Amino acid sequence: MSSLSLTKSKSGFYESAVVNALSKMDKGFLNLTLPNGENLEIGDSNSSYRADLEVKDARFFKCVVLYGDIGFGEAYVNGLWETDNITSLIKWIILNIENAPSVSGSKVKSLGLNLFKWFNRIYHNNRSNSITGSQKNIAEHYDLNNDFFATFLDPSMTYSAAYFKTPELTLAQAQDEKYRRLCEQLHLKPTDHVLEIGSGWGANAIFMAKNYGCKVTTVTISKEQQKLGQERVEAAGLSDQIEIIIKDYRNIEGQFDKIVSVEMLEAVGHNYLETYFAKCAEVLKPNGIFAFQVITSPDSRYNSLRKGVDWIQKHIFPGSLLPSVAVINKAINNTSDLTLVDLKDLGLDYARTLKLWYTEFNHKLNEVKALGFDERFIRKWNYYLNYCEAAFEMRNINVMQMVYTRPNNTER
C-alpha cells in the first residue's frame, strides 16, 4: 500500500497530474492500481460508493491529461485500463464531479488537465444540426446495422427508456407501458391524425395504430430505420394507418390533431430548439396536444454542458445536446402559446433499461462478432451503456415525458 504522494521522476508528468487530480476526488472510495502494480486508496474505504480502476498502460495518463473525460473513455476502448464494474466507476466519478476538472459539465477547471479540449470542441461544433448535418449525424449511429440493434433491444425494437410502472414488468412490457402512458396523455382516439417526429423502427407508430385506431404519419431521416420500420408496419397489417416518411422536421407540412416524439429532441441542438418547437406549433391543430419524451440535463449545468463536449457526443451521438427542462420550456414559450400540463420523470427507469440492454448485449456477443464488429467496438458499446446507466442512476441526467396543450383546449 502506498501514499498518494508520487514524485515527478517516479511517475512522470502525466501520471503525477492524473493522480493528483484523483486524490482530490475524495467522496466515496477508489482503489487505484498503477501500471507498475502499486496500489493507491483514495477516499473513504467505508463508503458505499466503491470503485476499482486498474491502469494497464501508462499511456492512459497522457490520454486523460490531453483530452479529459473523452480521453478517459478512449483509453478504455483501447484497452489501457480495466475495472471490475464500469458503472460503479462512472458513478464514483459523477459523485465527485464538482472536484473533477476534466469531466464535461464540471464547474471546476484545471490548467493541467484536458489540455486539448478545444480540439474536441471544434470537432463537435463542425457536426451541426442543419438539415444536411443532421442526416450525417443520425446516419452515423442509427444506420449502423439493424441486425446489430436487434441483438439487445426487445422484440418491438424500441431504443428509448422503458417505464417500469410496476417492478415485475419485463423490458417488453415496460416499453409498452411507456407508449401507453404517452397515448393516454395525448387522449388518443380513432379519429386522430398523429404526427410522430422520429420514427425509430416503427414501434410507437404501431402501438398507437393498433391500440387506439388512429392514423399516424411518422417522419425520420434514417434510411435504415425507415426501411425496417416499413417492413414491420406491413407485417403488422397497418399500412393503411401508418405512413413512414423520410423527411426533416423542418420540412413537415399539414395539420395534425396530436404530435408525439420519443427521444428525438436530443438531436436537435441548442441553435435549432426554437425552430423545432415553432414547427410543432405551426402544424398542431388549435385543440391539439403535444407530448414528447426527452433526455435532459440539469438546469444548473446546462450552459457548461452546452459549451463543452463529452465522450458520448464524440463517439456515440454526434451533434447531440441534452436540453434542460427550463431551456425546453423557454423555447416553447418563445415560439408558441403551448402550456405545460404534465411532467413525468423516468430517469431511474432508464437506468434499469440500460442495465437490461447491457446484459442482453453481452449475452449476444457471438452474434455481434458475426456481424463484423470487433473487440474495440464491443468495449465502446459496453462503456456507452454503463456510462449512461450510471448517469441516470446518479441523477446526473434525466429523462422526462412532457405534455403541452393550448389555452382553451377542453380536451386536455
Task: Work out the average pLDDT over 210-227.
Answer: 96
Q: Is residue 372 part of a domain?
A: yes
Q: Is residue 1 part of a domain?
A: no
Q: For residue 155, which phi and psi values (nearest 5 degrees)?
A: -55, -25
Q: Is residue 288 part of a domain?
A: yes
379: CB partners within 8 A, 6+ apart: 76, 77, 79
pLDDT at residue 71 greater than cutoff 50: yes
* 358-410 per-position pLDDT tens digit: 999 999 999 999 999 999 999 999 999 999 999 999 999 999 999 999 988 88
Look at the chain and report how many structural domains it folds into.
2
Q: Are residues 194 and 54 in the same domain?
A: no
Q: Are residues 181 and 275 in the same domain?
A: yes
Domain boundary among 115, 144, 177: 115
Domain boundary among 115, 146, 162: 115
Q: Are residues 383 and 355 in the same domain?
A: yes
With contact defined as beta carbons under 8 Å apart, do 157 and 232 qualify?
yes
pLDDT at residue 105 greater than cutoff 80: no
388 part of the active site: yes
With contact defined as beta carbons under 8 Å apart, do 330 and 322 qualify?
no
Q: Are residues 100 and 215 in the same domain?
A: no
The closest alpha carbon to 206, from 260, 264, 277, 283, belongs to 260
Measured between its terminal Cα atoms, the distance across the chain in Å is 64
284: CB partners within 8 A, 6+ apart: 255, 256, 258, 259, 290, 338, 406
Q: Is residue 410 part of a domain?
A: no
Domain boundary among 83, 115, 147: 115
pLDDT at residue 26 greater than cutoff 60: yes
Q: Are residues 150 and 107 in the same domain?
A: no
Higher pLDDT residue, 19 or 104? 19
Q: Is the dihedral of CA 95, 381, 220, 201 positive or negative?
A: negative
The closest alpha carbon to 106, from 349, 117, 198, belongs to 117
Q: Are residues 47 and 170 in the same domain?
A: no
Q: Are residues 293 and 389 in the same domain?
A: yes
pLDDT at residue 2 greater than cutoff 90: no
**Percent over 70 (pLDDT), the chain:** 87
Q: Is residue 174 part of a domain?
A: yes
Q: Are residues 272 and 160 in the same domain?
A: yes
Q: Is residue 348 part of a domain?
A: yes
Q: Are residues 334 and 305 in the same domain?
A: yes
CATH of the domain at 45: 3.30.1050
Q: Are residues 23 and 149 in the same domain?
A: no
Q: Is the dihedral of CA 34, 393, 398, 107 positive or negative?
A: negative
Q: What's the pLDDT score for residue 97?
A: 87
pLDDT at residue 412 greater than cutoff 70: yes
Task: Work out the average pLDDT over 154-165.
Answer: 98
pLDDT at residue 66 greater than cutoff 60: yes
Q: What's the pLDDT score for residue 140?
A: 62
Q: Is residue 122 part of a domain?
A: no
pLDDT at residue 120 greater than cutoff 80: no
Q: For residue 82, which phi and psi values (nearest 5 degrees)?
A: -135, 165
Q: Are residues 12 and 161 in the same domain?
A: no
CATH of the domain at 377: 3.40.50.150
Q: Is residue 262 part of a domain?
A: yes
- Which of these is catalytic: 63, 183, 280, 388? 388
pTM: 0.91
Residue 248 pLDDT grade (very low, low, confident, very high; cuts 50, 70, 90): very high
How far apart are the C-alpha atoms of 247 and 267, rounded to whole Å?
15
Boundaries of domain holding 65 = 8-115
Q: Are residues 109 and 135 in the same domain?
A: no
